[in-house]
């Protein structure tokens, strides 16, 4: 673990802040706070944050990563569900980085006290990046929701459970390829970049974490809607071991209709969902929409 100095929070300060406020980190909200400045710097570096860029952070907690982002010159909109943490954040930031709240100028930090899954609009300029140490129990829904709702987000760098990172970045055919991999691939290419030891957190979680970098790209070209494509993905993986002609029978109306759509899409009806990439799923959804 590296020394923490300057703008960033170290272990003693995290414990002190939590102690003063009577904060008992809860598992239900995935509250594990980063106490290592080296990890914060790594996240900020890998996110490629530039001065003046607008970044959205989900779950700023006590502010470990928020301070790193602000210190890199970004302007941050931070969405925090815990009202005590949301209230404390501006104070912590003002104490470490007074220039974030200039006299008479626009502050570089805006805090939104809300469940990220309920947020449909963000105040201020549209963010171009999402950078976060995501709450583990909702990491995939938050990621998918933000990619869908905020198309200004071009890059993502998130810390998630190592196992979730594997799934997000898995290619078709791999053991960990599944619903999150295929849905994220609709919006972006994903890469698992680093493994992060559990010891950089307080309290220490019982799993390791990893960083995932996403670059937005165009979705596959198709006349099917995103919802229709995602319905095919969900059905294909609902029973992983089933061949597609059976797995999609419900959606298609019958195994025969599913077989016809799969053949029209150029997909082997005996294949399993784990073999298909997002463009294949899009072609299947399009073929299912055509009355046969």
| Interface positions with ligand SAM (CB under 6 A) | 29-34, 58-61, 64-65, 79-82, 85, 115-117, 133, 135, 138
32 is in an annotated binding site: yes
Decide whether 37 or 60 has the Cβ nearer to ligand SAM. 60
Decide whether 7 or 29 has the Cβ nearer to ligand SAM. 29
Decide whether 198 or 272 has the Cβ nearer to ligand SAM. 198
Contact call for residues 18 and 41 (beta carbons, < 8 A): no
Least separation in angstroms between CB 208 and ligand SAM: 13
> CA-CA distance, 285 to 265, in Å (whole number)?
9
Least separation in angstroms between CB 121 and ligand SAM: 15
Q: What backbone torsions phi and psi does residue 191 show, to the nearest 5 degrees?
A: -140, 130
133 is in an annotated binding site: yes
Which one-letter DSSP state was computed for residue 202? E
Task: Kindly list the strands in the beta sheet with 188-196, ordered across the sheet, starting from the edge strand earlier in the chain.
Answer: 109-113, 75-80, 54-58, 129-133, 155-161, 209-216, 188-196
Q: List Cβ neighbours of 8 (8 Å cut-off, separation of 6 or more).
A: 37, 40, 41, 64, 67, 68, 71, 96
Decide whether 36 or 53 has the Cβ nearer to ligand SAM. 36
Least separation in angstroms between CB 95 and ligand SAM: 17
Least separation in angstroms between CB 87 and ligand SAM: 12
Least separation in angstroms between CB 244 and ligand SAM: 34
Least separation in angstroms between CB 100 and ligand SAM: 16
Neighbouring-strand partners of residue 196: 209
Which of 149, 128, 282, 135 has the alpha carbon at shortest distance from 214?
128
Q: What backbone torsions phi and psi does residue 204 show, to the nearest 5 degrees?
A: -75, 120
Q: Cα angle at 40 between 84 and 8, to 5 degrees? A: 65
Decide whether 139 or 181 has the Cβ nearer to ligand SAM. 139
Question: Quick check: helix, strand or coil at residue 104?
Answer: coil
Decide whether 30 or 273 has the Cβ nearer to ligand SAM. 30
Both tokens of 108, joined, read 């570089």
206 is in an annotated binding site: no
Q: Which residue is nearest to ligand SAM (CB)?
A: 59
Residues placed in the known binding site for S-adenosyl-L-methionine: 32, 34, 59, 80, 115, 133
Residues placed in the known binding site: 32, 34, 59, 80, 115, 133
């Amino acid at each position: 673990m590296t020394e923490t100095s300057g703008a960033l929070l170290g272990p003693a300060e995290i414990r002190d802040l939590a102690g003063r406020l009577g904060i008992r980190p809860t598992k239900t909200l995935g509250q594990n706070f980063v106490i290592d400045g080296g990890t914060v710097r790594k996240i900020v570096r890998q996110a490629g944050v530039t001065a003046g860029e607008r970044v959205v952070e989900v779950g700023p907690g006590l502010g470990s990563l928020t301070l790193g982002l602000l210190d890199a010159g970004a302007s941050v909109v931070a969405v925090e569900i815990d009202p005590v943490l949301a209230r404390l954040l501006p104070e912590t930031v003002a104490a470490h980085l007074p220039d974030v709240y200039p006299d008479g100028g626009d502050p570089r930090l805006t805090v939104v006290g809300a469940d990220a899954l309920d947020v449909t609009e963000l105040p201020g300029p549209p963010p171009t990046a999402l950078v976060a140490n995501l709450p583990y129990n909702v990491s995939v829904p938050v990621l998918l929701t933000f990619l869908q709702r905020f198309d200004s987000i071009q890059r993502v760098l998130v810390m998630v459970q190592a196992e979730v990172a594997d799934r997000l970045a898995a290619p078709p055919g791999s053991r960990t390829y599944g619903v999150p991999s295929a849905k994220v691939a609709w919006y972006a290419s994903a890469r698992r970049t680093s493994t992060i030891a559990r010891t950089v957190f307080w309290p220490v979680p019982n799993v390791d974490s990893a960083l995932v970098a996403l670059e937005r790209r165009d979705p596959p070209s198709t006349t099917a809607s995103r919802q229709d494509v995602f319905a095919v993905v969900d059905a294909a993986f609902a029973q992983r071991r089933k061949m597609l002609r059976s797995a999609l029978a419900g959606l298609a109306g019958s195994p025969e209709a599913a077989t016809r759509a799969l053949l029209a899409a150029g997909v082997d009806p005996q294949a399993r969902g784990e073999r298909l990439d997002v463009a294949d799923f899009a072609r299947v959804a399009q073929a299912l929409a055509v009355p046969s």
